[in-house]
Structures are given as structure tokens and as C-alpha cells.
Amino acid sequence: MTDAVFPMPWRRALVTGGAGFIGSHLCERLLGSGVEVDCADNLCSGSRENIAALAGHAGFRFVECDVSAPGCRHRLRGPYDLVLHFACPASPADYLRLPLETLDAGSLGTRSLLAVAERDAARFLLASTSEVYGDPLVHPQREDYWGNVNPVGPRSVYDESKRFAEALVTAHVRARDADAGIVRLFNTYGPRMRADDGRAVPTFVRQALDGAPLTVAGDGSQTRSLCYVDDTVEGILLVAASRSVRPVNIGGTDEITVRDLARRVVELTGSRSPVEFVPRPTDDPQRRRPDTRLARELLSWEPRVPWKEGLKQTIDHFVRARRTREPAQRV
């Protein structure tokens, strides 16, 4: 486990969606810094494999439950001094497969967990997303930009779930003086992403390792800004410790076209896979890059892991995972 670069002010934390990609890294980082962790997850998109190494840790407890269900709150006994709400299908493949569950996570789930935080006088932090900006008309995207979202498009179940969750958190701050904040995460990548989750980095890595064509949507000119998971986790915890109630962008400033990202993956895997252009999904954002000035000024945070190092670590993870799943060779 990697220790954080600042002292953790919490004794016990609740991480919902803790068996997911970012959630499991948060659990690991908190435990490595001496914080006890309850991890709640219904495993609709997370995996026990992501938290298998934490299971024997004395300060770790896994609670399998759906935070949107009425009974789940009563199983989260606490007391907590930090509640990190990361429970929500986050990849297109997942939220398109689970549209109603995605909306419930942002509405019922957020309301329930705000109540848990209020019960324990805990700091609450909502994991929001750059998707609240939709297909942005402002570039780069600042926290005071209201966004350009299609409320009835196929991506709306995720976009509007997060926008509503932000409204709930803000209402609790205003009406109940809640100690609650919002972190808007941009494209994060790294080990423990699922190969089939539909996002660009794991899709390209899987295809390159298979020797299959890398499927680039449209002409590939749309951009994304990548941030390695260790940097994202550091930013999340700094926002949690800051007591800020304002939304804070956490994301990379390495803006790259999807086409060039595919080329980077081909180069680093040593693959001979060609690039194949496929139809572009509805409401796919054309440009995406955070304005991270607030994070720099408020938290002294900025990404530190270079893209080449981050992609190498991610590719190595996928290579190791493939080896463990290969059947034993006969001798």
C-alpha cells in the first residue's frame, strides 16, 4: 500500500462502491494510512477481486449491500468521520445496462448516505463527474460552468444522476449545515479497470494485447484528459480533508485525441493492431479537459504521474491479469 503525502485526519471511513476501480484504490490508500475502512458495494460493477488483498486487514470490513435499498443504511453502523460516496455504475457499458440502478444511486443512495453522515457528524464527499458538463461549449471546463447536457439522451441516466446528487448535497449544506463536498472526476485510468467496461483505455489495451483492431469512435478527433488513479485518489482525499463545500475538478491536463491515445497504446504494447474507425456514440463529448486552477490554489494538487508511466503500469496490470486466467499448460 502507498501512504498518502499528507496526514489523514480520520479514524474510520465508509467507502461506498469500494469494490470498484477507484473505490478499491481509496480503500487501500486509507488503510495504508491507518484509517479503518468499511467498504459497501452491491458488486453490480465492482468485484471482490479488487479488494481481495484487503480482506485480512484488521481495519477492513466488507458490507455487501445496495446503498439505494432501505435496509442498507442500517447495516452501515459506523460511527464514521468520513463518508465517501462512490457507489454508481460509471462506465458506459454499465450505466447503459443498469439505467434505473444508476439513477437510484445518485438519488436514493445519495440521500441515504447523507443521512449516515449526518447521524455520525461525518464529513461527506460525493464522487461526481465531468459528465455533468455534457458536451461542453466552454473549454477547458471550470467548476462554475453549468454544462450542456441532453436530459433525455442515452447518457442522461449517468449525467443527470450525478447532477441531481450534486443538488442534494448542496441542499443539505444550505438547509442542514452539512459538512459535505463534491469532487468532479475526469477520465481516470489505471490498474483494476475492467477490460470490458467500455472506456477507451481498457478497451484499447485489451484489443492491442489480443492483436485485434483498436476501435476508435468517429474520426478520433474528440479529446479526453487522462489522470492516473494514484493522482486522482490523492486529489479526492485532499478535497475530503479541505472542508470545501464547492465542487472541485480533479483530472489530468494531458489532453489527447482518442486517435492518438490508441496510437500510444499500440506503441507501448508493441502490438501490430491496426486502428479501425467505428460509429460515434450519441452525445459523445467532443472536447474534455478540466480547469484545475481551484485544485491547485485550494489544495496545491496537480497530477504527478506522466502518461507513459501510467499507461505502462496499466498495461502491466492487464498482462498479469491475463496470465492468471490462462489455463495451466500440460507438461
Task: Give pLDDT tens digits for 6-58.
Answer: 789 999 999 999 999 999 999 999 999 999 999 999 999 999 999 999 998 99
- The DSSP line for 245-293 is -SEEEE---EEEEHHHHHHHHHHHHT--PPEEEEPPPTT--S---B--H
Taking the C-alpha atoms of residue 253 and residue 225, their distance in angstroms, rounded to an integer, is: 6
Other beta carbons within 10 angstroms of residue 5's beta carbon come to: 9
Q: What is the pLDDT of residue 278?
A: 96
C-alpha 239/C-alpha 82 separation (Å) is: 12
Q: How far apart are CA 157 and CA 100, in angstroms?
A: 7
**pTM exceeding the 0.75 threshold for the entire prediction:** yes
What residues are labeled active site? 158
Map grid coordinates 499528507 to a residue. Answer: 6
* Count of all residues that appear for the chain in the document: 331
Residue type, 264: R
Q: What is the per-residue pLDDT for 254?
A: 85
Residues 263-321 have pLDDT tens digits of: 999 999 999 999 999 999 999 999 999 999 999 999 999 999 999 999 999 999 999 99
> What is the topology classification, in CATH, of domain 12-189+227-253+282-305?
Rossmann fold (3.40.50)
Nearest to 90 by CA among 204, 192, 234, 221: 192
Mean pLDDT across 125-137: 97
Domain extents for the chain? 12-189+227-253+282-305
